[in-house]
Amino acid sequence: MMRVQAPYTNLFRMQTFSMQSLRAGLVLVACLAVLICASVQPAGAAPNRVVADLSDDLVEINSSYHGTELLLFGAYRGMPGDDLILEVRGPSTDLLQRRKEQKAGIWINVETFRWLGVPSFYHVFSTRPLAEIAPLQTLTESGVGAASLGLRLAKSKGGGGSHHNGGDDSPVSRASASTDEQNAGLVRNMTGLGLWATRTGSVKTQQDMLYRTALSLPSNVPPGSYVVRVLHFRDGVAISESKTDMKIRKAGLSALIYRFAHDYSLFYGLFAIAFAVASGWLAAVAFRRN
């Protein structure tokens, strides 16, 4: 309950009255009143505002980590028929895409394409299918879907560049004919890995004021800085937007091993060997006595 109050307080500060001196209990009541007032006002008459929060803005990958689920929630000042799109984006990375072909009876990689600055994690949630919420161009301008991902192929590896001129329900837009297959493959592969997803109809709203959705992080989630973005759409137009940050990092023993392996790789290797020799010796001694 404490956490849920945060967005309300934020929302409240937006108003011109100075309410900071009021007690916490009054804040909530007053806030709800403002929300109700706002919802009956005509669109555009007051500054629109959507706020976002997470049940946890720091996810630690420790030894017992096997994926986790976060609650993504917040408040908005909506009207019936409004839509919300939520977007969770992980750190960008370069990515190699390989294509197999049958050569002499076996399937081997024959082509490699290098994609630049691809989000290693990209989950989109919405109240309805994206195409029903707004025209493709509006979505692109708002940075939802294809263009916002800024997907492009490195030129050197062949296959040509890719042009993105719109967005659809998949995170990648339709591109030029030569890269349709590559785009579809990228979405398919990343979705298969659980790193990309589009979940339409997954955002639940309450009385055009509150929204929530569940973000599930897979066990192979890439660590790094994440950005959560919420967009509020009315009649196919984005009327307000909000962002919040999230961090995913390795912690505990798994962080220790990872850092040891990368920062002191020589000692890590020696340690791994020493451990193996010691346990091999121990095993031989232990079972000899039996």
Partner 1 sequence: MYIYLPIAEVSMHIGVIIGLGGGVGFLSGLFGVGGGFLMTPLLIFFGIPPAVAVSTEANQIVASSVSGVLAHMRRGNVDFKMGGILMAGGVVGSSLGVVLFKFLQSIGQIDLVIQMSYVVFLGIIGALMLTESLRTIIRSRKSGGVRRKLHQHNWFHGLPLKMRFRRSKLYISAIPPLVIGALVGVLAAIMGVGGGFIMVPAMIYLLGMPTAVVVGTSLFQIIFVTANVTLLQSIQTQTVDFMLAGLLLLGAVIGAQFGSRFGARLRGEQLRGLLALVVLAVCVKIMFDLALRPEDLLSVELLR
Contact assessment for residue 186 and residue 97, using Cβ atoms and an 8 Å cutoff: yes
The single-letter DSSP state of residue 242 is E
Candidates 51-59, 138-146, 216-224, 226-234; binding stretch for partner 1 (CB under 8 A):
216-224
3-state class (DSSP) for residue 96: strand
Contact assessment for residue 127 and residue 134, using Cβ atoms and an 8 Å cutoff: no
207 φ, ψ (degrees, to nearest 5): 50, 35
How far, in Å, CA of 228 to CA of 144, rounded?
12
Joined tokens for residue 208 = 């055009």
Asked whether position 207 contacts partner 1 by CB under 8 A, the answer is no
CB closer to partner 1, 166 vs 194: 194
CB closer to partner 1, 24 vs 285: 285
CB closer to partner 1, 34 vs 61: 61
| Smallest distance, partner 1 to C-beta of residue 171, A | 14
Residues 69-108 that bind partner 1 (CB under 8 A): 93-102, 105-108
CB closer to partner 1, 24 vs 287: 287
How far, in Å, CA of 147 to CA of 137, rounded?
10
The 241-260 site mask, x for binding partner 1 (CB under 8 A), equals: ---------x--xxx-xx--
Matching residue, tokens 């009207």: 79
Contact assessment for residue 261 and residue 243, using Cβ atoms and an 8 Å cutoff: no
| Smallest distance, partner 1 to C-beta of residue 247, A | 17
Q: β-strands 106-119, 237-250: how paired? A: unpaired
Residues that bind partner 1 (CB under 8 A): 61-67, 93-102, 105-109, 112, 120, 181-182, 185-186, 188-190, 192-193, 219-220, 222, 250, 253-255, 257-258, 261-262, 265-266, 268-273, 275-277, 279-281, 283-285, 287-288, 290
